[in-house]
Amino acid sequence: MRRGTEPDRELRADEPRHRRVLGAVLCLALLAVLLLAAFDLPDGTQPLPQMARRALTSAMPDYRTTEPVNAIVYGMRAMDTFGETFILLAAVVSVVVLARGPEPRRGFFGEAVAGRKEQPSGGESTDSGERRARRAEHDEQGEGDQTPRTPDEEPVGALAAERAHAMTVVVRSAVRVALPFLTTAGIYLAVQGFSPGGGFPAGVVLLGAVLLVYTAFGHPALWLVANDALMEAVEVLAAVAIILVLLLGLPLAGSFGAQWMGLTPLETMRSGGTVQAFSLSELVEVASGLIIAVFSLLGMRHEWGRDREAS
């Protein structure tokens, strides 16, 4: 295939007509099939499946919770949720591995010393062609004579070298007001013990709070949360906690994921027993996993490949 130059690429900015037509025909055919299926789906009058009915009736006696969805996620389907948690872990590991940058320097390698030995004149070549090439490269990088020699000579209003970290005072104030409510709501979803979903949605709400801070105040405000080593340790600890909660069911209650903790009265924080312990561990796992994934993505360095025109 011919590699286009920049103008060629601009000319081909729109999708080719045949591709759009073919795609439209295929998707309309798919839509027709799906619509036929949609009109044959249950219409809301059919009774609940036996499993759903059993989950509803056993949530209170078996798990002492008023929230059947939690009883299913962290109790009856604990094994499935366990597997899904490790799919999440695998996705986070994939992001971390793909986003990983170059290894930081950890020692002295002696390049400068070796270079001085090679070029005793201090790097200044006597070859006029090489001097011209070095000067051209220097100018191309914006370090030529037109660049101010010191930052003090920069004209007022010129863009600084660093990107702006924070947003305006209006946004920052709004985030300061909203953040405590959002964070409290996120933690409450899991800690209360009888709110729908528990740790899964709570973890995502906490990620939302962190991203709000990132957007309004920038990366420096999140020095603790955006710490890869710390968050990776937290995530692994949460994964270990999940394994322990489920594994202890084997010796203490006869099966993996069985209810082995003492059940407290309804509508209390520990009313779900292992359901609540699993939910809280899931909160930490989901929040830390998604924070690692998002910040790995945001922190990906600009390791650009060689320009094809230059190569």
Partner 1 sequence: MIVGNFVAAAVLFCLGAYTVTTRRNIVKMVLGLSLMESATYVLVISLAYRNGSTAPVLLYPPPGHTMKGLAHGNVADPFLQNICLTAIVIGVAVTAVLLTIVVRAAQHYRTLDTDEIRELTG
Question: Which residues in the 288-307 window bind partner 1 by CB under 8 A?
Answer: 289-290, 293-294, 296-297, 300, 302-305, 307
Q: Is 273 left (phi over 0), alpha (psi -120 to 50) or beta?
A: left
Cβ-in-10-Å burial (0-12, 13-18, 19+) of 76 comes to: buried
Query: Is residue 34 at the binding interface for partner 1, with CB under 8 A as the rule?
Result: yes
Q: In this structure, are residues 270 and 189 in contact, taking their beta carbons and an 8 Å threshold?
A: no
Mark residues 45-64: x for contact with partner 1 by CB under 8 A, - for none: xx-xx-xxx-xxx-xx----
Record the tokens describing residue 224, joined without a space: 């603790």
Q: What is the size of the binding site for partner 1 (CB under 8 A)?
A: 76
DSSP conformation class of 265: P
- 2 binds partner 1 per the rule CB under 8 A: no
Which residues inside 53-112 make contact with partner 1, applying CB under 8 A? 53, 55-57, 59-60, 66-69, 72-73, 77, 80-81, 84, 87-88, 91-92, 94-95, 98-99
User: Which range touches partner 1 (CB under 8 A), out of 41-49, 157-165, 177-185, 248-256?
Assistant: 41-49
Residue closer to partner 1 by CB (options 94, 255) is 94
Residue 187 in the binding site for partner 1 (CB under 8 A)? no
CA nearest to 184, candidates 205, 198, 201, 200 = 205
Question: Which window, 16-24, 127-135, 146-154, 247-255, contacts partner 1 (CB under 8 A)?
Answer: 16-24
Residue number, 105 or 302, with CB nearest to partner 1: 302
- What stretches of 40-196 show up as alpha helix (H) in DSSP? 50-63, 68-71, 78-99, 111-118, 128-138, 169-191
- Site residues (CB under 8 A) for partner 1, limited to 144-173: none
N-term to C-term CA, the chain: 17
Residues 257 and 79 sit within 8 Å (Cβ to Cβ): yes
Of residues 130 and 267, the one with the C-beta less far from partner 1: 267
Residues with Cβ within 8 Å of residue 221, at least 6 apart in sequence: 165, 166, 213, 214
User: Which residues, 195 to 224, sit near partner 1 by CB under 8 A?
Assistant: 196-197, 200-201, 203-204
Q: How far is CA 70 from CA 15, 83, 192, 226, in A?
A: 46, 16, 12, 30
Window contacting partner 1 (CB under 8 A); options: 22-30, 149-157, 170-178, 241-249: 22-30
- Number of other residues whose CB lies within 10 A of the CB of residue 87: 9
CB of 220 to partner 1, least distance (A): 23
The verdict on 308 binding partner 1 (CB under 8 A) reads yes
- Asked if residue 39 binds partner 1 (CB under 8 A), the reply is yes
169-191 helix and 274-298 helix, angle to the nearest 10 degrees = 150
Q: How many CB atoms lie within 10 A of CB 247?
A: 13
186 touches partner 1 by CB under 8 A = no
The DSSP secondary-structure symbol of 151 reads G
189 or 213: CB nearest partner 1: 189
Convert residues 244-283 into a mask of x (bound to partner 1 by CB under 8 A) and - (unbound).
-----------------------x----------------
